[in-house]
Structure 1
Amino acid sequence: MERQKQVVVVLVAIILLSSLAYWAISSNDNPGRFINPADNFNIFPVLADAAGMELDSPIKITSKEAMTAGQIKNIVKVLPKHDYKVKKESDNEFLLEFDKSLKPNTVYQVSIKGKEDKSFSWAFQTKRDFKVVRTLPRDRGLYVPIDSGIEIQFSYPGIEAIDDYFEITPKVEGRFEYNKNTAVFVHKGLEKNKLYTVKIKKGFGLKDSKEVLKQDYVFKFKTEADQDKGYLNFTDELLDFTTKTPQVIEVNADGSFKGKQFLVNIYKYKDKQDFIDNIKKIDETKLSWHEPAEAKIKIEESRFEKISEFTTQLQTTEPDAWYPAFLVLPDKLDVGDYLIDMSLADENWQTHVQVNDLAVYAIVGEEENLVWVNDINTSEPVQGAKVKDLVTSNLATTDADGVAVIKEKLKLEEGFERAYFKIDVKGKQLFLVRAKLNYDIYEDFYYYSSDGSTGNTDYWSYMFLDRGMYLPNDTVHVWGMAKPREVSQGLSRAVLCLSKDNYEGDFLEIQKKQIELSDFNTYEEKFEIKNLTPGSYTIDLKDGDRLITRRYFNISEYTKPAYKIDAKFDKDKIFSWETAKLSIDASFYEGTPVSGLKLKYDYYEDRKNNENQVVCDENGHAEIIYTPKVNKDEWYPESTSFNIYNAQAEDEEIYAYKNIMVFPKDVMINVKTKASDDKTKGHITVSTNRINLQHNIL
């Protein structure tokens, strides 16, 4: 029995000792003699291992006092409720045999009723599937740094010897390290702009358990490209213009393209359906995630008419700033559908332009879609326009207000929401509307905040915890407010739940409390936590079964850092041709220097991350001489941030960071232009200022 007790993993041990006394109940319900329940009983699952309790396991109860099955039945309670029979093995040993399998990934509480209905309780978690719950990089991750580690996190701790079950394509050399439920592949280097596929083969098992992966787990990621080529793309694949508006196309581009001459070709579609099909094709190709180049349209003479060809530079609205940039078309395009093809050397970029004098607004809902059609030339709504939903083929006609409503359920294709409407107005070019859906079409829409909270937009809510990290035995203090946005809906009571985040999209409830809200819809509560395992947890506020808000926190056996790192530049601003000294001092908290400490530091500059190491001398001191490498024509300064941290493995990461401002020029030049109303004359104003860093003068 002792051996059985040792292999049982109890995720949550909830011990409610409300009474130190238990009155044994005899077979004729007469009270027995006084005994201590903590000393008298022991409860444990018969079938369990490192992964938890088996779903078909009975629960064994041992008692120091001789008892009957009837007595055990009278005093034992199982929650969540699950029908069982009591089987007597001896006067001191009993089995709770359940009528059907227990629920997976569930904490079952077995309590013994004492005097005045006080109870003494044990809790056991049933097994959940052994599987991969998180990876780094994530599946379909893009622009992954080539020095990024590869981590696979499983649903249970005790991971080891994964080598024979791990496969990465293309092949990469490396070794494994293990930390609780995570296997880390420390590789010898990834290649740039490469698609990698990682497979964890089925059959990989958990140490000291028969639990194994039931099927292969595969994830893919693509590494960062060579940044020397720069970054450029159009802001959208489909842009709408009227014949009256300026036809200027916005481009996302970095400064490496400034002053470059682009070749631009404009092609007009001969067939509207071909245009629609290509837009759909681009949307579908985007789902391939790692090969956006596949969305390029092949230019064929039978499908297109070439309208113009010209060379141009990208333009900016401010001469001193590069972003955003614009492609200005030299001639206005007539009503029609166009493909814009822009190229530089061996690279090319494409977008589509639709020119039409209709203004169309479309909104997609869960139960119905609405399209509103107006005429730009008359500034009036269009009545009688035929609207076709290209996903469902449903039809509608606009009313006197130019509104058409198509009643239908939201349609999903391959898990992605798409909405396309074709607008047919007599005497007008067919118009394509490509709606971008909002996620608040669903009944319960949740936002995710940078402060670690999640909320339901049907409520005004906020939750505050006194800390973000707690010890396994600690007290969590909770304050907050919650109020329905609908005035007619009141909220006087709610439920607070303490749950464990198992990284699988669901949460294991540990404690639950009914709370009363004040007249101002505020609340205050606390949770006493006992022997909880380290990991991620949440406090949830619920209105019935609906989540109002959720706050994440961590439980850890944390310790105070052994020492601290201080960093300081001798100057806070420099020109790009100057140097600055970064002084680093490492000391224990009582003031003794940390001699011989190895430190890493990194900083981002010139579109790449720079890394190096230093070693502190006998006084805990080290210095870094920083010489900037700023490659830009503008005078605007750049901020460079240095991160300094311990180079060797320790219980906690100890770090410091410091910023310095770098000015690439010592003269500030601003140019303003103004054209006359008839565009025949222009006025240029040039202002210059000398930059003095010593006196903060511009």
Structure 2
Amino acid sequence: MNYIQGSTRTFVVRIGVIFICVLAVSMVGIAVYYHAQNTPITPVTPDTAEVVITDKPNDFTLKANSVDTLGVDPDTTFTLSSEQPIDKGTVKGAFVASPSFGYKIESTDSNTFTIVPESSLKTNTVYQFAISTATPETEDAHQFAWAYQTKNPFKVLSTIPANLATGVSLDLGIEIVLSNEKFKDPEQHITITPEVSGHFTNYRQTLVFLPDALQPATMYTVTIDKDFGVEGSHEKLGSEYQFQFETTSNDAELPRLGFEDQFYEYTAQDKPFFAFRSNDKSNLHVDAFKFDSFDDFSNAVDKQFTGIPYWARYMRQTHPFDTSGLQNVASFAPTLIDSDNFYSYFEFPTALDDGYYIVNLTNGNTPAQAFLQVTNLAASMQVSVDNTLIWAHDISTKTPAEGVSIHFSADDSLSQTTDSQGLANFTTPAVLQDQTSGSYNIRKSLEFFTLEKNGVKLLVPTKNSSNTFWYLGGDSAANRYYWGYLYTNRTLYL
């Protein structure tokens, strides 16, 4: 045994030696701090740990110095108290932490020691600590063990309805799953627009708003302000959280009608061909209206997708673009082509001249609308978090379109030109980086690129899909049996 001098006779011995002599280590004085977690604690006894040997039986306590209802602050220090006097070097060799982290030990006397981590601890992590003690007369070591869980930062984990959900049932409650319980005054920090009466309730980490009545075909915005917090803690959300959803329509008032895409492009030599979905095809009619210029067309796109997001199909049906000032260049009852999938199809009876159009498909008084460009300039676009690639092609010559200028609706400073292969490769604009990286950004408008060569312009939208048409992904019998969500009241799955 190695003796270490102190105010009393104190020495340490490797705990592995003790285990050779005895079959088990008795556990005494275990103090466990938990917050919303039921993970079992395993004694921390690595072979390299040392045992504190004192003349008299010793007793240790460990306290986290910064704790609230959410748990231990990641920047906390710990105070280790020893009933018998020992020196700092002994503590350094015998004190064990798991997961391990760098720390220094400070002391003002031989009974009280401050464990100071060299950096912040990991959040939402259970840290186990142990120290073992014995006397020269005893062969077995007594281990003192503690467990503390660091705070889980207060944040929103999920919502029902999901962000940008459409077709939401009118009798659905609004659920917000948070990282911690005992949230404080939700009525003062959560707003719903348009305003809806109701009341809040909660179960554990799930906060539920039970509305008295949601209105059909309405887009709701739920905003949680940055000061929303938890009782007994200074922790707050820190930044505003917002999500949107759209309720379903009353089927008797609003037939389900929508184009497959919101933008179509054809040449003046092709008859435009459209795909759509409808639960009632008995009274369909098509009208095509022509814009006077590309600027009028792009302004209409911007107006239609500002205030009514691209995904809100019911609001789009109830708030169509006003075509009263446009020239009607085609009006006909479509001949339908049915298929085995969700879509039906129709073709224009004749081709249209070069230009920019909006197409109305109506079923009674209910319109679905799609934007149409007739031009020989075509483009394909791929957007990643880092780079955007646009390939331009001249359909009339069947060659890549060199020298096409490219501009972006949300950034006037972006200016690119295609090369001899018709390609332009550039850094993705910041607003699109936010959207491709999976953030909860709610788009206030539809961004688009404008391509131009020799006075011919093409609008390339960054989104072109109506796949949110059905709340659960389609109207077939098979799709109706798929779940849109699966949640339980428990956060641990075995």
Q: CA deviation at 1:125?
A: 2.8
CA distance in 2, matches of 1:5, 1:408: 58
Q: CA deviation at 1:181?
A: 1.6
Q: Deviation per CA, 1:94-142, whole angstroms, max 9, x where unpaired?
A: 3324577656545555455999xxx997543322433433322234433
Going from structure 1 to structure 2, the CA distance change for 1:230 and 1:128 (only over 3 Å counts) comes to: same
Contact 2:290 2:355 in 1 (8 A): yes
Listed one character per residue, the Cα deviations across residues 51-106 of structure 1 (whole Å, up to 9, x for unaligned) are: 11134533122445431223213333555534433224553x43324577656545
- Give 3-state SS (helix, strand or coil) of 2:427's partner: coil
Match of 1:136 among 146, 160, 163: 160
Alignment of 1:227-266 (within 5 A): 227-228=251-252, 229-254=254-279, 256=280, 258-262=281-285, 264-266=286-288
Counterparts of 1:111-190 in structure 2 under 5 Å? 112=131, 122-158=146-182, 170-174=195-199, 176=201, 178-190=202-214
Structure 2 CA distance, aligned partners of 1:641 and 1:350?
26
Determine the structure 2 residue equivalent to 1:634: none
Tell me if the contact between 2:189 and 2:224 (Cα under 8 Å) persists in the aligned partners.
Answer: yes
Q: 1:166 to 1:97 in 2, by over 3 A?
A: same
Structure 2 counterpart of 1:424: 453
Task: Identify, as 1 or 2, the structure richer in strand.
Answer: 1
Aligned to 1:464: none
Determine if the alignment matches structure 1 residue 269 to structure 2 residue 294: no
Counterpart CA distance in 1 for 2:75 and 2:461 is 51
Deviations 1:561-601 (A, max 9, x none): xxxxxxxxxxxxxxxxxxxxxxxxxxxxxxxxxxxxxxxxx
Q: CA RMSD in A?
A: 4.7
Shift of 1:422: 1.6
Distance 1:345 1:416, change over 3 A: same
Corresponding position of 1:683: none
Q: 2:80 aligns to what?
A: 61
> In structure 1, what is the equivalent of residue 93 of structure 2?
74
Report the CA distance shift for 1:146/1:108 in structure 2 as closer, same or farther (over 3 A).
Answer: same
Q: Distance in 1 between matches of 2:93 and 2:50?
A: 13
Matches of 2:49 and 2:146, distance apart in 1: 17
> Structure 1 counterpart of 2:106, which letter?
V
Shift of 1:272: 2.6
User: Given that residues 45 and 130 in structure 2 are in contact (C-alpha distance below 8 angstroms), is that contact kept between their aligned partners in structure 1?
Assistant: no
1:387 and 2:409 are equivalent in the alignment: no
- State the Cα distance separating 1:285 from its structure 2 match: 5.3
1:432: Cα distance to partner? 1.0
Is the counterpart of residue 434 in structure 1 residue 460 in structure 2? yes
Instruction: Name which of 422, 434, 440 aligns with 1:404.
Output: 422
Paired residues of 1:14 and 1:123 also in contact (CA < 8 A): no
Following superposition, the deviation at residue 232 of structure 1 comes to: 0.8
- The higher relative CO (CA closer than 8 Å, separation ≥ 6) is in 2
What whole-Å deviation, never above 9, does each CA across 1:310-334 have from its counterpart, x for those lacking one?
Answer: 3x1451236xx79422233222212
**How do 1:565-644 residues align onto structure 2 when only pairs under 5 Å count?**
none
SS of 2:338's equivalent in the other structure is coil
- C-alpha displacement of 1:410: 1.3
Does structure 1 retain, via aligned residues, the 8 Å contact 2:318–2:366? no
Match of residue 217 from structure 2: 193
Secondary structure in structure 2 of the residue aligned to 1:130: coil
Aligned to 2:467: none
Alignment partners' CA distance in 2, 1:638 and 1:9: 45
Contact 1:266 1:339 in 2 (8 A): yes
Aligned residue runs from structure 1 range 26-41, under 5 A: 32=53, 41=60
Tell me by how many angstroms 1:226 deviates.
0.8
Matched with 1:17 is: 45
Separation in structure 2 between the aligned mates of residue 201 and residue 364 of structure 1, nearest angstrom: 32
Q: Secondary structure at the match of 1:350?
A: strand
Q: What 5-or-longer segments of structure 2 have no aligned partner?
A: 1-28, 135-142, 437-446, 465-469, 483-487
Amino acid at match of 2:105: K
What residue in structure 2 maps to residue 491 of structure 1? Answer: none
Listed as ranges, the matches of 1:293-332 within 5 Å are 296-299=320-323, 301=325, 304-310=326-332, 312-313=333-334, 315-317=336-338, 323-332=342-351
Matched-pair contact (CA < 8 Å) for 2:88–2:105: no
Q: Which amino acid aligns with 2:415?
A: N
Please state whether the residue corresponding to 1:278 is helix, strand or coil: helix
Aligned residue for 2:79, secondary structure, equals strand
Identity %: 20
- Aligned residue type for 2:373: Q
Alpha-carbon distance, 1:180 to partner: 2.1
Q: Distance in 2 between matches of 1:236 and 1:651?
A: 38
The answer for the alignment partner of 1:369 in structure 2 is 389
Question: Secondary structure of 2:153's partner?
Answer: coil
Structure 2 partner of 1:449: none
Matches within 5 A, 1:40-55: 41-55=60-74
Q: Is the 8 A contact 1:147 1:189 kept in 2?
A: yes
Taking the TM superposition and a 5 Å limit, the aligned residue runs for 1:281-680 are 281-284=303-306, 287=309, 289-290=311-312, 291-292=315-316, 296-299=320-323, 301=325, 304-310=326-332, 312-313=333-334, 315-317=336-338, 323-364=342-383, 366-367=386-387, 369-376=389-396, 380-382=398-400, 385-391=402-408, 393-399=414-420, 403-413=421-431, 415-416=434-435, 418=447, 420-424=449-453, 430-432=456-458, 434=460, 436=462
Q: What letter is aligned with 2:423?
A: V
Shift of 1:388: 1.0
The whole-number CA distance in structure 2 between the counterparts of 1:220 and 1:279 is: 21
Which residue identity does 2:275 align to in structure 1? E
Judging changes above 3 Å, is the alpha-carbon distance between structure 1 residues 294 and 7 closer, same or farther for their aligned structure 2 residues?
A: same
Partner of 2:104: 84
Q: CA deviation at 1:353?
A: 2.1
Q: Partner amino acid for 1:260? A: N
SS at match of 2:44: coil
1:495-526 Cα offsets, whole Å, 9 max, x none, are xxxxxxxxxxxxxxxxxxxxxxxxxxxxxxxx
Q: Name the CA distance, whole Å, in 2 between partners of 1:68 and 1:203.
A: 46
Q: 2:26 is matched with which residue? A: none
The amino acid across from 2:292 in the alignment is: K
Give the superposition deviation at 1:306.
3.3
Shift of 1:231: 0.9
**Preserved contact between residue 134 and residue 153 of structure 1 (Cα < 8 Å):** yes
Cα separation, partners in 2 of 1:16 and 1:431, compared to 1, 3 Å: same
Distance across 2 between alignment mates of 1:23 and 1:162? 51
TM-score using structure 1 length:
0.50
- 8 Å CA contact 1:134–1:154 kept in 2: the answer is yes
1:225 corresponds in structure 2 to 249
SS at match of 2:295: helix
Q: 1:147 to 1:363 in 2, by over 3 A?
A: closer
Give the letter for the 2:73 counterpart.
E
Note if contact 1:130-1:213 (Cα within 8 Å) is conserved in structure 2.
yes
Deviations 1:588-639 (A, max 9, x none): xxxxxxxxxxxxxxxxxxx99xxxxxxxxxxxxxxxxxxxxxxxxxxxx968
The count of aligned residue pairs is: 419
